[in-house]
Amino acid sequence: MKQQFQLVFVLCFFLLNSCKENRTSKNSKLETEEELIERALKIHKKVLTLDTHADTPIRMIEPGFDMSKRHDPNETGSKVDYPRMKEGDLDAIFFAAFVAQDIRNDKGNSRAKSLCIQMIDSILVSIERNSDNVGLAINPQDAYSLEKEGKRAIYIGIENGYPIGEDLSNVETYFNKGVRYITLVHSSNNDLADSSTDPKGSEHGGISKFGSKVVSEMNRLGIMVDVSHGSDSVFYDAIKLSKAPIIATHSNARAVTNHKRNMTDEMLRLMASNGGVVQLTMLANYLREVPPNIELDSAIAAHRFKMKDIDKMTDEEKVFLRKEFQEINEKYPTPQATVKHVVDHIDHIIKIAGINHVGIGCDFDGGGGIEGVFDASEVMNITIELVRRGYNEEQIAKIWGGNLIRVFKEVQAISERIKSDSSA
């Protein structure tokens, strides 16, 4: 009996492995690289591709910057414009209006609101000027309907709740202007919540009393609660306080890259039970540890040793020296983060939280951009790597936008419920 059991077990093992082998061989043994890329590009074109975080509005306040023109990222550093969104088949994007944290008093709050509204208005003007190619999106289904019209969908978010100040009514003001997510906090603590990177540490122990009212108001209006940049306690508080699923618009997995901006496995599991979504970001330092570059370090140190005293250098000599240092940097480049690192994080999040809780938020124009996904025109390389690792169309559709849209719909449904409950 025991021997029969062992035989059945061995047969099952080989059967399972041969099935797995068949799936792999279809993808990588019979399919050439060209065929794989062609298949990936077809999927990329077919699914809704949605990026939840771009700081492009800071470009829109650059005098003379034109979103309808294609810019060279290696010349200007710009990562997103409408022609490149089209090239990369990026269907939808959240442009984040960002205001740097400043003084937390009435004057500071009032200025922050004014700057935030100016930035949102610059997005709206850009959409209006380019209405043949893009459209304002305020509801989940808008991304799909604009895609059918052949237009890119532009959603609006706010990165840093600072412009809300201490006035809860500002949340509705921003909602009425089209804002559909708010990142509670940025690199320093504000009146709403603690930052993961404030050197002073925790001030509220997570989300403040006022911040919890903001979360409730966001739930009521149907604005997604974004916990990226928040401390770990902000995440746990948001999970507890929010009646709707929450999102992290640009964060990665801490188990893969140990950075406090990334999320622990425990947080990823909670995100799954909450029904929320973590959107992978393309910030090199959040994707991988910077590898040592001994050759570069040695060359730079040796060159520094030969340097004349800075006090005795003319401006021309400094310019020349800068050029020499740049040449050394070019000669010994540090290996960049790549799309493989991105999909390593996606693989991990799926392993921990499941396929329904991961998405993409590149953080272009805010530091995002890696080898192979340097700007909006190259986002299809993420899909190619996903296909290479065996992800199918249904899974890729979830990663590239389906999951975020599901959360967005849920946030709106809960908003409707809250409104109808309060009017009853």
Partner 1 sequence: MTIRWLIISLTLANFNNLDAHPLRLSLCEIEYTSSTKLISIHLKLFLTDVNEALLFNPKSDELAFCQPNEPIKANELLLNYINRFFYIKANGKRISLKIKRKRLSGDGENTALWVYFELSQPVILESLEIKNNIFTDLFFDQNNIVYIHLDDESKSIMLNKKTAIHKLEF
* 356-375 binders of partner 1 (CB under 8 A): 366-367
CB of residue 115 vs partner 1: minimum separation in angstroms? 5
Among 28, 133, 197, 216, binds partner 1 (CB under 8 A): 197
Q: How far is the CB of 308 from partner 1 (least distance, A)?
A: 11
Q: With CB under 8 A as the contact rule, which of the stretches 42-50, 158-166, 217-225, 297-305 interacts with partner 1?
A: 297-305
Which part of the chain contacts partner 1 (CB under 8 A), choosing from 161-169, 178-186, 267-275, 279-287? 279-287
Closer residue to partner 1 in complex, CB, 62/416: 62
CB of 294 to partner 1, least distance (A): 8
Q: Is 301 in the site for partner 1 (CB under 8 A)?
A: yes
Binding to partner 1 (CB under 8 A): which residues in 313-352?
315, 319, 321-322, 325, 329, 334
Which residue carries 């959240």 as its tokens? 94
Does residue 5 touch partner 1 according to CB under 8 A? no
110-129 residues in contact with partner 1 (CB under 8 A) are: 110-111, 114-115, 118-119
The Cβ-side half-sphere exposure at 298, using a 13 Å CA radius, reads 5
Q: Does 311 bind partner 1 (CB under 8 A)?
A: yes
Q: Does residue 100 belong to the site contacting partner 1 (CB under 8 A)?
A: yes
Instruction: In whole angstroms, give the CA distance from residue 38 to residue 169.
Output: 50
**What are the residues binding partner 1 (CB under 8 A)?**
58-59, 61-65, 74-77, 100, 102, 110-111, 114-115, 118-119, 187, 197, 199, 283-285, 290, 293, 296-298, 300-302, 304-305, 307, 310-311, 315, 319, 321-322, 325, 329, 334, 366-367
